[in-house]
């Protein structure tokens, strides 16, 4: 059997769900962040697979941009985590419940 794009998409879906569960179920800010990266990569994978399926380079261009944005996001996010850690000496997001209404 040949590996079709659908296989990659399925794999990407699973990776996405795993990443999402890490986001929802872990308290450590860094691990949550890494889960987000995982989700982004899953999305990238599905982009490339779809681009191959359709025979265009749009998927790869999209992946390019996603990576750039992810890099920028990581930079800023980590800076925030570091700043918060300096103030509160905690890496658990549950302690950051100041927006409780």
Partner 1 sequence: MEAGEVMVSLLILLPLGGSVLLLALGRRLGEPGAGVLGTLTVSASFVLAAVAGGDFLAGGAHATQIPWFDWLSPLGVRAGLLWDPLSALMALVVTGVGALIHLYSIGYMKGDPRVGRFFAYMNLFVASMLILVLADGFALLFVGWELVGLCSYLLISFWFEKPVAAAAGKKAFVVNRVGDAGFLVALMLVFAAFGSLDYGEVLGRAAGELSTGMATAITLLLLMGATGKSAQFPLYVWLPDAMEGPTPVSALIHAATMVTAGVFMVARTGALFDLAPASAAVVAAVGIGTALYAATIAVAQYDIKRVLAYSTISQLGYMFAGVGAGAYVAGMFHLTTHAFFKALLFLGAGAVIHALAGEQDLRRMGGLWRRLPVTTVTMVVAWLAISGIPPLAGFWSKDEILATLFARGGAWRAIWAIGLLTALLTAFYMSRLIFLAFFGEQRWAEGAHPHEAPKVMTVALGALAVLALAGGVVNTPWRPGLEHFLEPAFEGLDLAHLPSGATQWVLAALSVAAAAVGILLAAGAYLRARRPAEEGPAWELLRRGYGVDEAYARVFAAGGQAAARFTDQTVDQKGVDGLVNGLGVLVRTVGERLRPLQTGFVRQYGLGIVLGAVALLAWFLSRGGF
Partner 2 sequence: MVELVLFIIFGLAALFGAVTTVWARNPVYSALGLMLTLFSVAVFYVSNGAEFVAAVQVIVYAGAVMTLFLFVIMLVGVDRAEDRRENLPVQRPLALGLLVLFGAGVLVAGRFAWVTGSGGGRSAEGTVEALGSELFRRWVLPFELTALLLIIAAAGTIALGLFRRGEAEAADEGEAGEEEVAP
Name the minimum Å distance from CB 32 to partner 1.
8
**Alpha-carbon distance 91 to 34, whole Å?**
14
Under rule CB under 8 A, residue 76 binds partner 1: no
Name the minimum Å distance from CB 75 to partner 1.
20
With CB under 5 to 8 Å by kind, the binding choice for 88 among partner 2, partner 1, none is none
x/- map, 21-60, partner 1, by CB under 8 A: --xxx-x---------------------------------
The DSSP element (H or E) to which 19 belongs, if any, is helix 5-25
Name the minimum Å distance from CB 41 to partner 2.
5
Question: What is the SS3 string spanning the chain?
Answer: CCCCHHHHHHHHHHHHHHHHHHHHHCCEHHHHHHHHHHHHHHHHHHHHHHHHHHCCCHHHHHHHHHHHHHHHHHHHHHHHHHHHHHHHCCCEHHHCCCCCC
Name the minimum Å distance from CB 31 to partner 1.
12
Residues that bind partner 1 (CB under 8 A): 20, 23-25, 27, 93-94, 96-101
């Amino acid at each position: 059997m040949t590996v079709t794009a659908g296989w990659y998409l399925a794999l990407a879906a699973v990776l996405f769900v795993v990443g999402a569960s890490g986001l929802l179920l872990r308290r450590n800010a860094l691990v949550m962040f890494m889960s987000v990266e995982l989700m982004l990569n899953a999305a990238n994978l599905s982009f490339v697979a779809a681009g191959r399926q359709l025979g265009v380079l749009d998927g790869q261009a999209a992946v390019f941009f996603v990576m750039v944005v992810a890099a920028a996001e990581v930079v800023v996010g980590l800076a925030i985590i570091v700043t918060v850690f300096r103030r509160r000496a905690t890496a658990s997001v549950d302690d950051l419940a100041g927006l409780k209404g």
